[in-house]
Amino acid sequence: MKKVMFFGLMMVISLWTNAIYANSINLGYHKFSPYEFKLNEKPAGIMVDIVHAIFKKLEVPLKLKFLPFKRALEYTKKGRNDGLFILYKTPERMEYFDYTEPLVNSPLLFFVRKDSNIKFEKLPDLKGLKIGVMHGYTYGAEFDNAPYYKLDPGNSHETNFKKLISGRVDAYICDKWVGISTAIKINAMSDLKTLPVPLKVMSLYMVFTKGKHQALIDKINPIIKSMTASGEIDNLINQFINEQK
């Protein structure tokens, strides 16, 4: 009897949640290639594919709106959009947004020339090197302020990779998929490799307006976990990257 009541309750909750979102969920996305961007006036990118797959499994209608990053944050904070993707987690942002499970755990890797003998496990291993970085980015206080190497900022990923290939820097630190996608675009990946140990791993999330969509998040999280465990998310990433080659 208790089992019947439990399953009945779960069915009611499921139907209630689907009814709430019958008119679609509105999510903002922003320019962060290859994760999310606008192509031919349509949403495109790794995260767009992943989010579409999640909502297809949920059977909840989804609408995506391309916005500048700060506006996407503000719209979600005020409830003008239901949520946005992707976002890093910080204590300040957790005051305004409810987070799903991580969609992707993305390593920050050192890209080096194919013939490089550089090895990295800890920061002193980089002693005497010139490391390319993005102008205005922070890679964490420990890395930013370490005395072992010289940082050489550039204004774009393309510029930094060209500096790496020409030998003006010894390594370039970049998000794995951003780096691989950029290197493919400029036909440089065959000249490069990545060091196996990341500087750090950053989790990328979908978020929703604080306090308004917990029932939906509770349905999304098991799907994310299942897609991660089954390799479906990795397959979607690899499919997108392979299509760029």
Q: What is the pLDDT of residues 59-79, one digit of tens each?
A: 999 999 999 999 999 999 999
Q: Are strands 42-44 and 97-99 parallel, antiparallel or unpaired?
A: unpaired
Cα 213 to its chain centre, rounded Å, is 21
pLDDT of residue 3: 47
pLDDT exceeds 60 at position 176 = yes
Residue 84 has pLDDT above 50, yes or no: yes
- Verify that 41 and 157 share a domain, yes or no: no
Residue 109 has phi, psi (to 5 degrees) of -115, 155
Residue 10: pLDDT over 50: no
- Confidence tier at 20 by pLDDT (50, 70, 90): low
* pLDDT of 156 higher than 50: yes
Q: What percentage of the chain carries pLDDT values higher than 70?
A: 91
Are 94 and 213 contained in the same domain?
A: yes
Bridge partners of residue 43, in order along the sequence: 38
Mean pLDDT across 189-217: 97
In this structure, the answer to whether residues 53 and 129 fall within a common structural domain is no
| pLDDT average, residue stretch 160-165 | 98
The range of the structural domain enclosing residue 197 comes to 105-201
- Give the mean model confidence (pLDDT) for residues 146-159: 97
Residue 139 and residue 77 share a domain = no
Q: What are the C-alpha distances in Å from 88 to residues 29, 102, 202, 204?
A: 13, 9, 7, 5
What is the CATH classification number for the domain harbouring 61? 3.40.190.10
Does residue 44 sit in the same domain as residue 109? Answer: no
Tokens of 101: 């499970």
Q: What's the pTM? A: 0.86
- Whether residues 114 and 192 share a domain: the answer is yes
Q: Angle CA(136)–CA(154)–CA(198) in degrees, nearest 5? A: 75
The mean pLDDT value for 196-214 works out to 97
Residue-wise pLDDT tens digits, 102-130: 999 999 999 999 999 999 999 999 999 99
191 and 210 fall within a common domain: no
Do you find a cis peptide bond into 34, omega within 30 degrees of 0? yes
Q: Give yes or no: residues 207 and 160 share one domain.
A: no
Assess whether 139 and 175 both reside in one domain: yes
Q: Same structural domain for residues 8 and 98?
A: yes
Query: 134 and 191, same structural domain?
Result: yes
For Cα atoms 81, 223, 199, give the angle at the middle one, nearest 5 degrees.
Answer: 85
* Percent of the chain surpassing pLDDT 90: 90
pLDDT higher than 90, residue 98: yes
pLDDT at 2 over 60: no
Tell me: the pLDDT tens digits for 21-56?
557 999 999 999 999 999 999 999 999 999 999 999
Q: How many domains does the chain have?
A: 2
Q: Which band of pLDDT confidence, cut at 50, 70 and 90, is reported for residue 216?
A: very high
Pair 93, 212 in one domain:
yes
